[in-house]
Structure 1
Amino acid sequence: MIGMTTSRVLALMLTAAATALTLTGNPSSAATAAPPGLDWRPCGVAGQECADLPVPLSHDDPDGPQITLAVSRLASDRPEARRGTLLVVPGGPGGSGIRRLSQQGPALQRELGGSYDLVSFDPRGVGASSRTSCRLPEADRHLVTLRSWPAPDGGIAQNVERSRRTADSCAEHGGPLLRSLSTATEVQDIERLRQALGEQKLSAYGVSYGTYVGAVYAQKYPARTDRWVLDSNDDPNPRRVARGWLAYMARGAEDRFPDFAAWAADPARGDLRLAEHPGDVRELFLSLAASLDRQPRETTTPGVPLTGNRLRQAMQTTLYSDASFPQLALLIRQVTDPAATPVLPPDVAGPLSDEDAAVTMAVVCNDVRWPHSVPAYQSSITANRARYPLTAGMPANITPCSFWKDAPAAKPVRITGDGPSNVLMIQLRRDPATPYAGALELRAALGGRARMVTVERGGHGAYLNAGNACGDRLVTRFLVTGERPARDVVCG
């Protein structure tokens, strides 16, 4: 998701400690030399060991300035069963792999029975790796402003102004590290990590945006891939890349909202029941968002009112997980009560850090050129709002990428079926962030290289996350034994 991005939402994922960007000269080593091995140390994060990996600021200049990637490992607790390294590729862009490994690593370790050392990393610009910033004002760093929600009447003048000043500020203050942030660079960083780990091949488990990173790595380095799992999959269309992922969110919300509506119409919800019928829940939500467009409500967060777009953003991130449904239902209940003061969910109550906001934008803007025509965006939004009212045109709107100063360093990689048949995709049918329609595009691109497991439920993140024994069993079997379904499978 634009991913912003792999646990609930990017704003909740990016809490790892940051370090300042430091650029140093490379020691006098040959340009083609492999990176040194990793010096592991205890780091007190869920039993993990940590290490620092130096990588070139530019892989075109391997002897030039270096930056640091933070790497973590949960070593196999059964050395006799260990068969290699499983790289956990974080989502986002902007997701912390160290944080994901601390959250999911113990469950993976138990499920896989010590078959792997589990390794992850904070991509450049993220968490404890080298950081940069755009020096954006706080008001421009809320999710509801980083994502370009149109004005109540569908106008985008404010979005255009904000996008232009954001791009200008990133160009002025981001520096060479910001300009280096891209999927292509992350893939090269992963190859350096593989070398430092001393592995001839890697297995991988990529989630959300991590599926695109994983697919690009498998395309570029097919001989270095072992067992490859892609969970919650992005459309790899090289003409659109993240612009396409953003557009898919409109359909994703429509696919997924009925799950929330059915939940909120269930008599078992008690005080959180919102209506007698699921269709009435949808109409209530749309009505409340429109009323908040006209008259925002003060909240318990000083200076942050609940607008229609902030309610829509809260809805969009809530749809990632059934566990968040009560939070959205409570917020809607508070809006319907004139005497209540709404309490904003954390992901929409405050801004992202300047560093986190910078990386979430820079990767998607550096990957591919975005259209520049403001009238074309306005026209697209009008049609998008009519077709997908839940997201009110946001997925079709203009972003800072339309005013980005630097052209992409390279064309996006086209994913094909060339390479070993060692990919297993798993996908929830009703995913709000990486919808099923986009996953089918990646499945088609990979052709005979892949098999796909479809899980008949909603949410974001399938493996060991959706409570589906069938899907979990098929992925675990593949990672542990190498056995993969002979054809695509649907798990009810």
Structure 2
Amino acid sequence: MRKTWSIALAIAILAAGAAAAAPAGAAPEASRETVKWGPCPADAAAPGLECSTIKVPLDYDDPGGKRIDIAISRLASKNPGQRRGVLLTNPGGPSAGLKFPADLRTAKMPQAVLDSYDLIGFDPRGMAHSTPVTCDLTPEQSAVGNVPPYARDAADVAKRAEQSKAIARHCATSKSAWMLPHVSTANTARDMDSIRAALGEKKISFAGYSWGTHLGAVYTTLYPQRSDRIMLDSNVGPDGWDYANDRLYAQGFDDRFPDFAKFAAAGSATYGLGSTPEQITAKYFDLAARLDKAPVRDIDGPTFRMLTYGFLFSDAGMPLVAKIWQALDKDQPLPPLGPGEVPGVENLVSGRYYMICNDSRWPGSVGTYQRTVAIDRLRHPMFGAAGANVQPCAFWSAPADPPVRVGDRGPSTVLMLQNQRDAATPLAGAEKLRRAFGDRARMVTVDAGGHGVYPYVGNKCADTAATTFLLTGQRPKHDLACAAEPR
């Protein structure tokens, strides 16, 4: 069972109206603390990166009450004459973001952007070096990450429901359950404003990716007049990570898989999986059906589908997917799939449950999930029965606060970036967010696959639009479609 858990863990690792006055819970400017920068924790250390911790209210409705830690980092501009402010960053997840400014530098964020801003990272409340939460999960419970397993039938949904009930119960009774009502995207956005106040900034710019796009959308909805330049890359819908968002994974897989089919067909001499995209697609269904009946090397049908999905978040994962398929097809040893036991994974998974389950109401009836799984298995046979499957959020206590409604009130200072074929945050969700923002946003869509646009894809059209926005505040006059470019 340890090998099966290690494989699952590899998958888990891979993935209010606006008002001019500050909303309730805003950080009081006069009482802000002084940030003292120093060395970063070992797991976030990087050249030039400094770290600190600030105190924020656990409950922003009770600002004088209990306080918790938020760990922050800074990659300071080395060009004081060019520096214009701070750029808060978030890598998505929800996950730790303390090292993310350095990661953006490594990913070749343009030097002009690094000169223009202090890049600020932070661990969201409940996660990593901020005051952490736990659900006291077993390794097996921690191994299922963002996406539940593919449900082959109603019995699989019922089995997953029992597992999800146990996880929700663990979270509700854990030693950090006192934080449970207060870990949410809205409160994380309020923490961002506390960071802004602690840094002495009147406004902040923001670069958020994946779930971080929802965080940025919520921040600029709660604090429109404190939002400078808001760049959102690989976007979830306006309602954030709810059940509808989970079901979109099926569309994301459908959008992305043809890229892999073309890759594997072009490499038919190497992988032997088929010489046309149609043959590669047929091989997917053949392997899934065979593994449903008889697992090979601890890989069953649901795990095979999840491995294929998770490793297609970037083009760099395609050779590994092809090698996995090849090994399973011929009953050969599997290639290395990634890390085994990873420090902090229990907190990562627990923190995600706290955040997403508090943000919205999920259906509570197991029968509802059995019906939607059956529907999505037919509509999206490749992956629909995974995205529609049940999560612990179905058995969660009611959210503490109503969700923030993202809308079109506020300054037009949002730039959205989106790949056309993103398995994790499909274009369909981004288009919903774009409509919700109205004229507040412009969207740059790239004819590319994978999760993450800037500076990851290397598309000159999209990179120019993003860099120009961050440096000058200028957005395209209209939504922009960027053609595919050779890589």
8 Å Cα contact 1:143-1:351 kept in structure 2: no
Deviations 1:302-323 (CA, angstroms, capped at 9, x unpaired): xxx2111111111111121000
Instruction: Compute the displacement of 1:101 (Å).
Output: 2.0
CA shift for structure 1 position 410: 1.4
> For residue 253 of structure 1, what is the aligned residue in structure 2?
253
Structure 1: distance between partners of 2:252 and 2:326: 24
2:358 counterpart of 1:366? yes
Task: Check conservation: 2:412, 2:441, Cα contact below 8 A.
Answer: yes
Equivalent residue for 1:483, pick from 474, 478, 485: 474
Equivalent in the alignment of 1:403:
395
Give the CA deviation at 1:198.
0.5
1:282 aligns with 2:275: no
Would the aligned equivalents of 1:41 and 1:50 in 2 still touch at CA under 8 Å?
yes
Deviation at 1:351, TM superposition (A): 9.9
1:190–1:132: structure 2 CA closer, same or farther, 3 Å change rule? same
Alignment of 1:196-215 (within 5 A): 196-215=198-217
| Change beyond 3 A, Cα 1:412–1:347 | farther
**8 Å contact 1:141–1:352 — kept in the other structure?**
no
Taking only the aligned residue pairs, the percentage that are identical comes to 40
* Superposed CA offset, 1:354-406 (max 9, x none): 211211111111011111111121111111111112115111111111111x2
Q: Is the 8 A contact 2:265 2:276 kept in 1?
A: yes
Q: Give the counterpart of 2:334 among 333, 342, 350.
A: 342
Verify: 1:183 aligned to 2:185, yes or no.
yes
The verdict on how the C-alpha distance between 1:46 and 1:32 changes in structure 2, with shifts beyond 3 A counting, is closer
Q: Distance in 2 between matches of 1:317 and 1:12?
A: 6
Q: What secondary structure, in the 3-state scheme, does the structure 2 residue paired with 1:389 have? A: coil
**Partner residue of 1:311 out of 286, 289, 304:** 304
* Alpha-carbon distance, 1:279 to partner: 1.3
- Report the equivalent of 1:67: 68
Alpha-carbon distance change, 114 to 236 in structure 1, aligned in 2, over 3 angstroms? same
Q: CA deviation at 1:295?
A: 1.1
Q: Does structure 1 residue 471 correspond to structure 2 residue 462?
A: yes
Counterpart check, 1:454 vs 2:445? yes
Counterpart AA for 1:360: R
Residue 216 of structure 1 contacts residue 415 of structure 1 at CA under 8 Å; is this kept in 2? yes
Q: Compute the TM-score of the two structures, normalised by the length of structure 2.
A: 0.89
Change in CA separation of 1:198 and 1:109 when aligned onto 2, cut-off 3 Å: farther
Question: Which TM-score applies when normalising by structure 1?
Answer: 0.88
Shift of 1:159: 0.6
Taking only aligned residues, the RMSD between alpha carbons, in angstroms, comes to: 2.1
Contact 1:377 1:397 in 2 (8 A): yes
Distance 2:478 2:151 in 1: 47
Q: Deviations over 1:253-292 (max 9, x none)?
A: 000000011011004x642352100111111112112211
Partner Cα distance (2:127, 2:261) in 1: 35
Query: Alpha-carbon deviations, 1:111-153, whole Å to 9, x = none?
Result: 5250111111010122221112111222222137x63324433
Deviation at 1:9, TM superposition (A): 7.2
When residues 72 and 351 of structure 1 are mapped into structure 2, their CA distance, relative to the original with a 3 A threshold, is closer
Structure 2 residue matching 1:390: 3-state secondary structure:
coil
Partner of residue 225, structure 1 = 227
Return closer, same or farther for 1:459/1:87 CA change in 2, 3 Å cut-off: same
Q: Which runs of 5+ in 2 are unaligned?
A: 1-9, 16-26
Q: Is residue 310–residue 348 contact of structure 1 (8 Å, CA) maintained in 2?
A: no
In the superposition, relative to structure 1, how do residues 273 and 110 fare at CA in structure 2: closer, same or farther (>3 Å)? farther
Q: Distance in 1 between matches of 2:307 and 2:276?
A: 22
Say whether the 8 Å CA contact 2:150–2:383 is kept in structure 1.
Answer: no
CA distance in 2, matches of 1:162, 1:466: 38
3-state SS of paired residue (2:290): helix
After superposition, the Cα gap between the structure-2 partners of 1:111 and 1:247, relative to the gap in structure 1 and judged at 3 Å, is farther
Counterpart CA distance in 1 for 2:29 and 2:48 is: 34
